[in-house]
Amino acid sequence: MVGAQARQYIANRLDEQAKLVWHFDNLHYSGEVSAREPQRVFSFGEITINLKPNGDLWIEGANYRNYISADSYTTAQECVSLLGDQLRYIDQNYQRIQSEPEFWAKKGILIRIMERFAS
């Protein structure tokens, strides 16, 4: 669980990085489009970043969905770095993702499906 102060810091760093450092060919930063609690939403064109109350970051668009769990980072800077990696991936693979959408699914679900087919 990430506290309110840490969430605010993540939001500030995300905004700062998006404006000053992250320059993409296919994704264009529109800023924070919703600050209504309990979550905050930032837009990169058709991709939105949802900063959840527990610290999870959901990266979602029409053809792409993934997330960064609060358990996968230890500092706000690490969180923003992981987000930058996700956005670079989307930007670099933008054309392919348009024709071959990528949607994240929980590992537990995939493991259960594979186990059913294996038996």
Chain segment 11-66, per-residue pLDDT in tens: 999 999 999 999 999 999 999 998 677 889 999 999 999 999 999 999 999 899 99
pTM for the full predicted model: 0.81
Model confidence at 106: pLDDT above 60: no
User: What are 54-104's pLDDT values in tens digits?
Assistant: 999 999 998 999 989 898 899 889 999 999 999 999 999 999 999 988 886
The rounded mean pLDDT for the chain is 85
Four-CA torsion 10, 80, 70, 96, nearest 10 degrees:
130
Nearest to 66 by CA among 83, 45, 42: 83
Distances (CA, A) of 17 to 12, 77, 87: 9, 10, 12
Angle among Cα 8, 53, 91 to the nearest 5 degrees reads 75
Angle among Cα 46, 78, 11 to the nearest 5 degrees reads 50
Model confidence at 113: pLDDT above 60: no
User: For residues 88 and 81, is the Cβ–Cβ distance under 8 A?
Assistant: no
